[in-house]
Chains A and B, each alone.
Chain A
Amino acid sequence: MRGWKPAPHVLLLLPAFVVLAAVVVVPLLLSLYSSFTPFRLTRPETIYTFIGFRNYLRLFADQEFWVAFGRTVLLLTIALNLEMVLGLFLALLVEKATRGQRLLRTIMMFPMMFSPILVGFQFKFMFNDNIGLVNNALQSLGLTDRAIPWLIDSHLAFTSILIAEIWSSTSVFAIFILAGLMAMPKEPLEAAKVDGCTPLQSFRYVTWPFIMPFAYIAMTIRSLDIARAYDIVKIMTDGGPAKRTEILWTLISRTAYSDARMGLANAMAYVAIFLSILFTILFFRQLAKARQQIGAEW
């Protein structure tokens, strides 16, 4: 090895580069490459067949994919908005508590402590049309006398998934907004009172602009979360019945592992990631704007 003597800083950084290459760069490039092949897990040699953009072209014409794509965006939009509103109310309520606030904050985080798989099982049980709590309760209260097919009807199943998703993650919004509320200086609120604001006006003109950046952080995190949603849906409906609740990642995993069409699945995954990146950029822009507005020093 005489003659090749790297500078000390290159030598010191090398291990990091090697690890990074091994666990991130190589798999990333490999998956990107495989999205340009008809790679099937059952026929390993297909990875050497380069077919250019054929997988992508096929996707763009694939209605099933776009339905799943659209459903994911719909889930994301509705869940984010509802979680935002509920989280805001929750945070405002908890912030008002003068005693036991610590305890309330801890309780508020309970849903986040369960694995999404377990949440999925729990809600699958609750929404079960025969033995589920929900139908049982509705029937006992005399609100209906038939078994509502929660997880079978396509709209109801979507709603059920939505409820499970919202239940498990509203606290993300609540925690961030509560952090914002607690970090908020109290004097501007008092100034607003003196300036003639009703409580509602104080919220609209002073509190809300201040907590907006915190809400955007929560939105960024949750949009990534939902864009890669898989576990709850996998457990509750597995995208079914008859693909009525198929979302991007259930479709991708089915394509990759059940159908063994890894090349096509990777192409889907890249489109899906593109969606995530888009949302992240969108929310970070909003965040930057909101931060600048309140003159935040973080």
Chain B
Amino acid sequence: MATVSLKNLVKKYGSLEVVHAINLDVADREFVALVGPSGCGKSTTLRMIAGLEAISGGHIHIGDREVNNLPPRQRNISMVFQSYALYPHMTVAENMGFSLKIAGKSQDEIASAVADAAKTLGLEELLERRPSQLSGGQRQRVAMGRAIVRHPDVFLFDEPLSNLDAKLRMQMRTEIKKLHAKVQSTVIYVTHDQVEAMTLADRIVIMRDGHIEQVGPPEEVFRRPATRFVAGFIGSPTMNLHNALVSDGRLVFSNGDTLPLPGQFRDRVTAGQKVIFGLRPDDLYPTGHGIHSGEAAEVHAVEVPVSLTEPLGNETLVFAEFAGQDWISRMLNPKTLRAGDRINLSFDLSQSHLFDAKTEQSLRG
């Protein structure tokens, strides 16, 4: 068990810098998810921690050891790869016991460690099979088994669920969570799926273009996104984000429609400032359908036309036109709506976000 700390970590390919001096401290036994769109540098960062990529600058510490120049085998880490990376010519048991065999452990030790891991992951029946005889979910479990037999300091997961179908992904997500609760070790988990990050991690690191945009617990990055990018990346369906101008205590949209300036931002903006107004679909609902109790809510209602609906059964996503743009709203206890119908849309402004249009930083204190 160990902490992981990255200090001014840089990765360059030739003259192209892909990870820009990032800093991150992962506590002992913490589950941290690196999340971001493809090409944001999250996998590269993970591979640098693993030692599979050389670092171009900065420091990596695992525990109290600086591991900058250590090969992967001396870092005491385990890694689960997106493509599972099982050894095709070895049985499940051999795959799981391979690292122990290399470490020179005795047959008995290996057998008991493999049996333990197999029991934890429900692989007892499959020990003599080869990877080619397993389903995707089983292969993924073997890959995890291979990682846990060694009791490493740190587990690294590189998009481990991306190759699985949606149903299996949910199931394995639960298993990873249980596994972490059981083995209690430090985990760094890379994913592009914000739902995985939200459900699994103690803390989420949102990366973009080789920078860290925000680090925080799932609740915090959801409720208080630090930048426009985080606001748009976390949450599904995505937050409504529209440009506006602050004028006379109101937000003026491009076509001249206005909303009152939300109370919590009144002292934080100046007249004439260009901002981005953000509101989650949950906080924008046909009047009478919201999930908030209403107390302390700063609700502003506007009558607007419906342009499209997406019924999901227990709820319906309503695309309504306001200020010349489509806004996504979430309707609970759905009733049938058709394009063209006019509805009374409630904006819960107490839940809204404002970002500076230029810096894209949150204007919330």
Contacts and interface: CB of A to CB of B under 8 A. Distances in A.
Contacts of B72: 190, 193-194
B85 A190 contact: yes
Contact of A293 (B52, B85, B89, B146): B89
Nearest to A186: B85
Interface stretch (B75-83, B197-205, B242-250): B75-83
A192 B71 CA distance: 12
B269 to A, nearest CB: 50
Contacts of B77: 194
A101 interface: no
A84 B238 CA distance: 58
B51 to A, nearest CB: 7
B102 A195 contact: yes
B130 A194 contact: no
A196 B99 contact: yes
Interface string B41-60: 00000000011100000000
Contacts of A294: 88-89
Given A185-B83, A193-B72, A194-B79, A295 B52 contact: no
Interface string A252-271: 00000000000000000000
A188 B102 contact: no
A206 B90 CA distance: 9
**Chain B interface size, under 10 / 10 to 19 / 20 to 34 / 35 or more:** 20 to 34
Contacts of B98: 192, 195, 205
B89 A191 contact: no
Select the residue from B71, B84, B88, B98 with max chain A CB neighbours within 10 A: B88
Interface in B66-106: 71-73, 77-79, 81, 83-89, 98-99, 102-103
Given A201-B102, A205-B98, A295-B130, A194 B88 contact: no
A224 interface: no
Contacts of A187: 81, 83-85
Interface in A193-223: 193-198, 201, 205-206, 209-210
Nearest to A193: B72
Nearest to B147: A194
B78 A205 contact: no
A199 to B, nearest CB: 9
A293 B98 CA distance: 16
A288 B103 CA distance: 31
B163 to A, nearest CB: 12
Given A201-B102, A294-B88, A195 B81 contact: no
A197 B87 CA distance: 13
B85 A193 contact: no
B88 A197 contact: no
B132 A295 contact: yes
B147 to A, nearest CB: 9
A195 B51 CA distance: 12
B278 interface: no
Nearest to B47: A190
A191 B87 contact: yes
Given A196-B103, A197-B102, A198-B73, A191 B85 contact: yes
Contacts of A194: 50-52, 72-73, 77-79
Interface string B292-313: 0000000000000000000000
B73 A295 contact: no
Contacts of A205: 87, 98, 102
A293 B88 CA distance: 7
Given A194-B77, A201-B102, A188 B88 contact: yes
Contacts of B131: 295
Interface in A11-65: none
A297 B71 CA distance: 33
Contacts of B150: 195
A198 to B, nearest CB: 7
Contact of A193 (B73, B87, B88, B133): B73
Contact of A197 (B50, B73, B146): B73
Interface string B141-152: 000001000100
B313 to A, nearest CB: 39
A253 B83 CA distance: 56
B85 A188 contact: yes
Interface of B: 50-52, 71-73, 77-79, 81, 83-89, 98-99, 102-103, 130-133, 146, 150
Given A185-B83, A293-B88, A295-B88, 8 more contacts: A190-B50, A190-B79, A195-B99, A195-B146, A205-B98, A205-B102, A209-B87, A295-B132
Can you list the 4 inter-chain pairs with the closest CB atoms, starting with the nearest?
Answer: A295-B132, A187-B85, A195-B99, A191-B85
